[in-house]
């Protein structure tokens, strides 16, 4: 039953991605689907991975730990998309996260670099930008993003690959679109600066409710949870409403 539901949902999402690409004259191959797997158990994630998906995103280090063994037999790439506390950095490395999409402050980059240097490792990162101006969300302010990119580029263990944002939760499409336009504009601005070691070709934006708008505005990764795995038992505020000053 659940297997059938997940497979059907995946088909619908892939179709939605394809249609949005066609509408905006983009090649569907340019847009990757990231499975947002917070609160989703190993069995369900495996169904999606065995159905051909290869990319998952987790918000909590604890969940990465818990699912690590269970997912080890299926090929996948793992991105971190939640708020990262510096005391969890060692686990991010130990549990083989491939990319941190939520780098949003200098201190986090600094601590990451220290740890990675010690272990002679590197990490792909995205800079998370707060394009919606909502206090409840993490991310560097758009006006400060370029500075942060320059600073992060100075850490040789961190490879900047793109930008990430969570769009505004609003039924008004134009307001959601504005967030994605802000991220795209930032990408252009950063590219124009020609900063050594900076590659911001990836734009991670768009979720279950707004992926079409995000694709029209240039998303290369859409992060989808509920539309594939069903409703979560915890509200998203559990993941996003942590106070900003908890660092
Ligand atoms: C949960 C989550 C998503 C997916 O949200 P859905 O509405 O379930 O598709 C995307 N990005 C982040 C950062 C998330 O925490």
pTM of the model: 0.94
Write the CB contacts of 143 (distance below 8 Å, at least 6 apart in sequence). none
Q: Give the pLDDT of residue 242.
A: 46
Decide: 204 and 162 in contact? Cβ < 8 Å. Answer: yes
Ligand 1 cavity residues, CB under 6 Å: 36, 38, 59, 81, 166, 207-209, 223-227, 239
Which pLDDT tens digit goes with each residue over 68-79? 999 999 999 999
Residue ID of nearest Cα to ligand 1 atom 12: 81
Going by pLDDT thresholds of 50, 70 and 90, the confidence category of residue 136 is: low
Atom of ligand 1 nearest to the CA of 101: 13
Q: Give the pLDDT of residue 233.
A: 74
Decide: 183 and 203 in contact? Cβ < 8 Å. Answer: yes
Residue ID of nearest Cα to ligand 1 atom 2: 36
Question: Is residue 127's pLDDT more than 50?
Answer: yes
Measured distance CA(84)–CA(95) in Å, rounded? 14
**Distance from residue 207's CA to the centre of ligand 1 (Å):** 6
Q: Give the pLDDT of residue 134.
A: 76
Q: Give the pLDDT of residue 240.
A: 62
Mean pLDDT, rounded, of the chain: 94
Q: Give the pLDDT of residue 244.
A: 40
The pick from 37, 48, 223, 240 for probing ligand 1's pocket by mutation, whose C-beta has the most ligand atoms within 8 angstroms, reads: 223
Which pLDDT tens digit goes with each residue over 34-76? 999 999 999 999 999 999 999 999 999 999 999 999 999 999 9
**Distance from residue 237's CA to the centre of ligand 1 (Å):** 11
Residue ID of nearest Cα to ligand 1 atom 7: 208
The beta strand positions in the chain, using DSSP E, are 32-36, 55-58, 77-80, 99-103, 123-128, 158-164, 198-204, 221-224
Q: Give the pLDDT of residue 243.
A: 41
Which pLDDT tens digit goes with each residue over 215-245? 999 999 999 999 999 988 776 666 665 444 3
Structure tokens at 211: 């992926």
């Amino acid at each position: 039953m659940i297997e059938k539901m997940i497979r059907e949902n995946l088909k619908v999402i892939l179709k939605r991605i394809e249609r949005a690409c066609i509408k905006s004259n983009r090649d569907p191959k340019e847009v990757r689907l990231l499975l947002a797997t917070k609160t989703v158990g190993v069995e369900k994630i495996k169904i999606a991975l065995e159905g051909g998906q290869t990319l998952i995103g987790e918000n909590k280090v604890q969940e990465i730990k818990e699912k690590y063994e269970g997912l080890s037999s299926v090929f996948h790439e793992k991105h971190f998309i939640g708020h990262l506390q510096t005391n969890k950095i060692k686990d991010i490395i130990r549990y083989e996260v491939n990319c941190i999409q939520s780098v949003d402050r200098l201190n986090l980059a600094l601590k990451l670099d220290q740890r990675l240097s010690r272990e002679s490792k590197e990490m792909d990162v995205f800079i998370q930008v707060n394009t919606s101006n909502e206090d409840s969300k993490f991310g560097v302010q758009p006006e400060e993003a370029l500075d942060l990119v320059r600073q992060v580029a100075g850490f040789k263990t961190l490879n900047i690959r793109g930008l990430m944002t969570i769009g505004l939760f609003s039924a008004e499409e134009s307001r959601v679109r504005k967030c994605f336009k802000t991220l795209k504009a930032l990408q252009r601005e950063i590219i124009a600066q020609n900063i050594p070691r900076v590659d911001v070709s990836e734009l991670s934006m768009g979720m279950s409710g707004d992926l079409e708008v995000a694709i029209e505005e240039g998303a290369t990764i859409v992060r989808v949870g509920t539309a594939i795995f069903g409703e979560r038992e915890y509200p998203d505020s559990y993941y996003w409403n942590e106070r900003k000053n908890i660092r």
